[in-house]
């Protein structure tokens, strides 16, 4: 059956449907809702597949697994895609129309996403499906806001906020990423008021001269001391501004004299508040210069900068321009540089709860452990509360109305939610304090307000108290490291504010999958790897194999060769099962006793079961798959199957057959979380008719096979000896089934144990005559040949070399050896009668072994001596 057919069967069987009434413990996964813009690369696929490993493993371990299919259908990327795809301008299109288009766009992607998930073999539960734009989801976001409003945790205030002029919305600190950038630092001449003298003020943003409120110098900068307290006159705008002394000003930056503008960067803002300077707005919500900029009004910051520099240059007010490196904050969605704007916004108190978030985080098990540091550092660096309102439209509306006359806020009542105040009626007709008209809030929530509710939504918070009690906190949050400061941090914060508890027991932080060139995948670099053609080419299981090789938390480049390796491994597994089922015609009964080599492979298998379980429990998938692979490939296929072949011919060997069945089934189960399709195929083809469960994915995780306290040594010895002699055959270019005349194993005190497996050794290697001895005095080292060292002979004997070499070759090596042993030299006589003395230096003796006069090869394996007589 194809992978698609299996998906259909699994649906029919409802394998992944959560059953609250099964009585099993619930393992719940706070699945990251897939973003509904349809974009998909190998990184997404790899992350989700790793979550699937956990879900499948936990089901086999006897858990009811909560693993919802979910999509994120809020926010800007969808709005931007809609503007692009439908060629609409958001400013000219009615709000309702835009929301409709966004919903339509997302809906189209939902089926695509569902199919993508299915093609990787994700075992997501569709019965718990949710989307973040549903009324049911948005209702929870709104309820949580109302609750926080009631508790005084949110407030509205006019305050400078980070602003993306391109998206025209406020942003939270977590939405801004800082990058180094080269910029021009202009040394601009400002006149000292009442004097002839000019000083140079260094700035990268001359367009903000219009809102320059003061000039700053460092008080320890001796050369600037005289300026402190004086006034300068701003060029073009001719405004008098005071020179302040502040220790935070870097005297090494440019001229050491800087402008303090209303809104330039965070430092400016700090000084504005510190020195109580006016907060003037140089930029509007689209990043255009305001009336304060005089003749530059309406220009973008770049255009304004260019224009004012031209004017300054014309007046010869630019002393010089130098290149400088600066750190610029970019909007994480659209990568436009952000500005600070003073606008009335809603805030969620964050600073007040820093300690609580850190305490709550401590109760969560972070994997890898070191990732928690990123959360700590981020929280400790926060200086502002979280701006939760956005001036967008495709998101959850803020459920409030405001009085147009007095500004009074009228929140929706909880039973009204979900509510859209731009369309729905307020709970009261008019403003309760002044009777004025109420206007529905047009702002929406930051989409993290929705996203940070996933754990609470999953646990039926605000929907079903009984289920909430049972589910909360969730078992696991898997997510990537780039959104620790947003998704992880906000979820912990919101969960704490609403429940005073942690949202999950474990958080699993994954790394990035990079392009094969080692760089991050980026559409503008054209290096995005689409997983679907890879799945198509290699099969989903080969792709899942690659995912299993990716260490949690590490950034790794995608490698085709791993998928290819996965495909080879799958073929090997197939051939193992084929071998097993060529030998079996039913499920063999358990034998009374296991033969030594069977005990050996069972004990190897038991070790693997223990190690793999341990590795998966700690999310170390590469270690798990490596353990299974080494076992399947090397111990089982290369060794055991070779060792057992002879016992499968003719009369039924129960011990061998039972072992093959148990290990064949166990191996399939160990691989089921990883290779979900091929293991199902194997199970259905061979094992199902003898086992209870309808699917391998509904079966129990394997336990070690009980073999009692039997001696493992004979099996180990058989494996060692057989491996060694097989290598010897290989080296001697003999077919593996080529017969060997006689082998003697000198085994010392292990002779008795090795005798127990002598038949296995002889049969596997086709040894006609195998003797196991405690010791042997019959093995002798002897001289088999002698080779003249021509270089040395030539150096000493010159033109006689040829003759000497031919004499050495014709001599009896044993005789030559004994002469040199006795006399330290060997006299040979040349044709002309001349005697020359040959010493050890001129020769190389070849030694070998013989046993009772017959040549043999001697191999030492630990404390065994193996003599192969040829
Ligand atoms: Zn933006
Ligand atoms: Zn009012």
What percent of the chain shows pLDDT beyond 70?
Answer: 100
Q: Average of pLDDT values for 798-819?
A: 89
pLDDT band at 531 (very low <50, low <70, confident <90, very high): very high
For residues 715 and 601, what is the distance between their CA atoms, to the nearest angstrom?
Answer: 8
Q: What are 357-386's pLDDT values in tens digits?
A: 999 999 999 999 999 999 999 999 998 899
Domain 169-340 fold is: Isoleucyl-tRNA Synthetase; domain 2 (3.90.740)
pLDDT band at 517 (very low <50, low <70, confident <90, very high): confident
Domain 715-778+855-869 fold is: hypothetical protein PF0899 fold (3.30.2320)
Report how far ligand 2's centroid is from the alpha carbon of 428 (Å): 12
Q: Is residue 213 over pLDDT 90?
A: yes
Q: What are 222-233's pLDDT values in tens digits?
A: 888 889 999 999
Report how far ligand 2's centroid is from the alpha carbon of 400 (Å): 14
Assign domain 577-710 one CATH number from 3.40.50.10260, 1.10.730.20, 1.10.8.60, 2.40.50.140. Answer: 1.10.730.20
Report how far ligand 1's centroid is from the alpha carbon of 334 (Å): 4
Q: Is residue 124 over pLDDT 80?
A: yes
Cβ atoms 44, 104 nearer than 8 A: no
Mean pLDDT, rounded, of the chain: 93
List residues, by chain if needed, whose CB lies under 5 Å from ion ligand 1. Answer: 164, 166-167, 331, 333-334, 336
Domain spans of the chain? 169-340, 577-710, 715-778+855-869, 779-851
Supply the pLDDT for residue 30: 98
Structure tokens at 249: 């000003």
For residues 474 and 304, what is the distance between their CA atoms, to the nearest angstrom?
Answer: 52
What is the sign of the dihedral through the CA atoms of 282, 283, 289 and 292? Answer: negative
Supply the pLDDT for residue 295: 93
Q: Average of pLDDT values for 502-528?
A: 90
User: How buried is 380 (Cβ within 10 angstroms: 0-12 exposed, 13-18 middle, 19+ buried)?
Assistant: exposed
For residues 801 and 696, what is the distance between their CA atoms, to the nearest angstrom?
Answer: 76
Contacts with 458 (C-beta within 8 Å, 6 or more apart), sequence order: 28, 30, 66, 68, 128, 471, 474
For residues 259 and 212, what is the distance between their CA atoms, to the nearest angstrom?
Answer: 6
Report how far ligand 1's centroid is from the alpha carbon of 447 (Å): 14
- Count how many residues are written for the chain: 870
DSSP letter for 283, please.
Answer: B
Report how far ligand 2's centroid is from the alpha carbon of 349 (Å): 25
User: Mind spelling out the 3-state secondary structure of 627-692?
Assistant: HHHHHHHHHHHHHHHHHHHHHHCCCCCHHHHHHHHHHHHHHHHHHCCCCHHHHHHHHHHHHHHHCC
Report how far ligand 1's centroid is from the alpha carbon of 501 (Å): 34
Report how far ligand 2's centroid is from the alpha carbon of 438 (Å): 8
Q: What are 25-49's pLDDT values in tens digits?
A: 999 999 999 998 877 889 999 999 9
Q: Is residue 694 over pLDDT 90?
A: yes
Among 105-114, 334-343, 684-693, 719-728, name the one with the lowest average pLDDT.
334-343
> DSSP letters along 556-574, please?
EE--HHHHHHHHHHHHHHH
- Which ligand is nearest the CA of 433, by number? 2
- Which ligand is nearest the CA of 175, by number? 1
Look up tokens 């010392």; give the residue. 748
Domain 779-851 fold is: 3.30.720
List residues, by chain if needed, whose CB lies under 5 Å from ion ligand 2. Answer: 403, 405-406, 408, 431, 434, 436
Report how far ligand 2's centroid is from the alpha carbon of 431 (Å): 5
- Which ligand is nearest the CA of 407, by number? 2
Supply the pLDDT for residue 682: 97
- Which ligand is nearest the CA of 332, by number? 1
């Amino acid at each position: 059956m194809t992978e698609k057919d299996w998906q259909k069967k699994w649906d029919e069987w409802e394998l992944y449907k959560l059953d609250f009434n099964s009585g099993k413990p619930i393992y719940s996964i706070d699945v990251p809702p897939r973003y509904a813009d349809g974009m998909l690369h190998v990184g997404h696929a790899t992350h989700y597949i790793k979550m699937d490993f956990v879900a499948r493993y936990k089901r086999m371990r006897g858990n009811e697994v909560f693993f919802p299919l979910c999509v994120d259908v809020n926010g800007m990327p969808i709005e931007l895609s809609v503007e692009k795809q439908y060629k609409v301008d958001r400013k000219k299109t009615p709000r309702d129309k835009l929301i409709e288009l966004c919903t339509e766009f997302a809906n189209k992607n939902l089926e695509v996403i569902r199919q993508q998930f299915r093609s990787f073999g994700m075992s997501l539960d569709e019965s718990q499906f949710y989307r973040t734009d549903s009324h049911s989801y948005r209702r929870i976001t709104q309820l949580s806001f109302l609750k926080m409003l009631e508790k005084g945790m949110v407030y509205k205030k006019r305050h400078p906020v980070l602003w993306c002029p391109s998206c025209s919305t406020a942003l939270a600190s977590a939405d801004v990423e800082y990058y180094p950038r080269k910029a021009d630092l202009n040394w601009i001449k400002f006149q000292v008021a009442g004097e002839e003298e000019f000083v140079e003020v260094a700035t990268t943003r001359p367009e903000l001269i219009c809102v320059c409120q003061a000039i700053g110098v460092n008080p320890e900068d001796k050369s600037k001391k005289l300026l402190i307290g004086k006034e300068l006159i701003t060029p073009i705008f001719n405004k008098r501004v005071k020179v302040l002394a502040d220790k935070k000003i870097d005297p090494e930056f440019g001229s050491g004299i800087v402008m303090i503008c209303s809104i330039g960067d965070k430092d400016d803002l700090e000084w504005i508040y510190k020195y109580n300077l006016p907060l003037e707005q140089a930029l509007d919500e689209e990043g255009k210069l305001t009336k304060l900029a005089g003749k530059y009004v309406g220009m973008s910051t770049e255009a304004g900068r260019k224009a004012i520099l031209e004017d300054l240059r014309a007046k010869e007010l630019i002393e010089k321009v130098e290149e400088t490196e600066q750190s610029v904050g970019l909007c994480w969605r659209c990568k436009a540089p952000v500005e600070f704007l003073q606008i009335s916004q809603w805030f969620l108190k964050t600073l007040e709860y820093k300690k609580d978030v850190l305490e709550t985080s401590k109760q969560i098990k972070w994997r890898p452990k070191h990732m928690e540091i990123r959360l700590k550092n981020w929280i400790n660096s926060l200086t502002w509360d979280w701006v939760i309102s956005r001036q967008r439209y495709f998101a959850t509306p803020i459920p409030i109305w405001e009085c147009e006359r007095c500004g009074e806020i009228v929140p929706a009542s909880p039973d009204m939610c979900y509510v859209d105040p731009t369309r729905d009626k307020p709970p009261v007709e008019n403003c309760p304090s002044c009777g004025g008209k109420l206007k529905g809030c047009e702002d929406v929530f930051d989409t993290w307000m929705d996203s940070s509710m996933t754990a609470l939504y999953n646990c039926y918070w605000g929907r079903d108290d009984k289920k909430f009690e049972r589910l909360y906190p969730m078992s696991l949050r898997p997510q990537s490291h780039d959104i620790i400061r947003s998704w992880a941090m906000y979820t912990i914060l919101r969960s704490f504010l609403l429940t005073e508890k942690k949202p999950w027991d474990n958080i699993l932080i994954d790394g990035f999958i990079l392009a094969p060139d080692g760089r991050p995948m980026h559409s503008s670099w054209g290096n995005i790897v689409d997983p679907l053609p890879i799945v198509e080419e290699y099969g989903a299981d080969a792709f899942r194999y690659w995912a299993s090789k990716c260490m949690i938390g590490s950034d790794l480049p995608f490698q085709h060769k791993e998928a290819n390796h996965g495909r080879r491994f799958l073929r090997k597994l197939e051939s193992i099962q084929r071998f097993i089922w060529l030998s079996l015609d039913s499920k063999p009964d358990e034998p009374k006793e296991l033969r030594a080599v069977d005990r050996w492979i069972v004990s190897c298998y038991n070790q693997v079961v223990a190690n793999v379980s341990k590795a998966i429990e700690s999310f170390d998938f590469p270690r798990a798959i490596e353990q299974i692979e080494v076992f399947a490939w090397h111990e089982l296929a290369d060794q055991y199957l070779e060792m057992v072949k002879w016992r499968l011919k003719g009369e039924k060997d129960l011990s061998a057959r039972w072992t093959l069945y148990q290990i064949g089934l166990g191996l399939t189960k160990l691989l089921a979380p990883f290779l979900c399709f091929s293991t199902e195929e194997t199970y259905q083809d061979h094992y199902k008719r003898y086992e209870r469960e309808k699917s391998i994915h509904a079966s129990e995780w394997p336990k070690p096979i009980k073999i009692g306290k039997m001696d493992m040594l004979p099996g180990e010895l058989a494996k060692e000896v057989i491996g060694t002699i097989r290598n010897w055959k290989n080296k001697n270019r003999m077919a593996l089934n080529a017969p060997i005349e006689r082998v003697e194993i000198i085994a010392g005190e292990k002779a008795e144990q090795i005798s127990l497996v002598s038949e296995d050794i002889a049969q596997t290697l086709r040894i006609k005559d195998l003797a196991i001895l405690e010791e042997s005095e019959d093995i002798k080292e002897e001289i088999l040949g002698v080779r003249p060292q021509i270089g040395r002979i030539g150096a000493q004997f010159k033109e006689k070399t040829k003759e000497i070499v031919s004499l050495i070759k014709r001599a009896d090596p044993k005789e030559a050896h004994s002469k040199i042993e006795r006399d330290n030299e060997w006299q040979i006589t040349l044709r002309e009668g001349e005697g020359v003395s040959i010493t050890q230096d001129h020769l190389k003796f070849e030694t070998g072994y013989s046993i009772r006069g017959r040549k043999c090869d001697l191999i030492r394996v630990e404390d065994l001596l193996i003599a192969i007589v040829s």
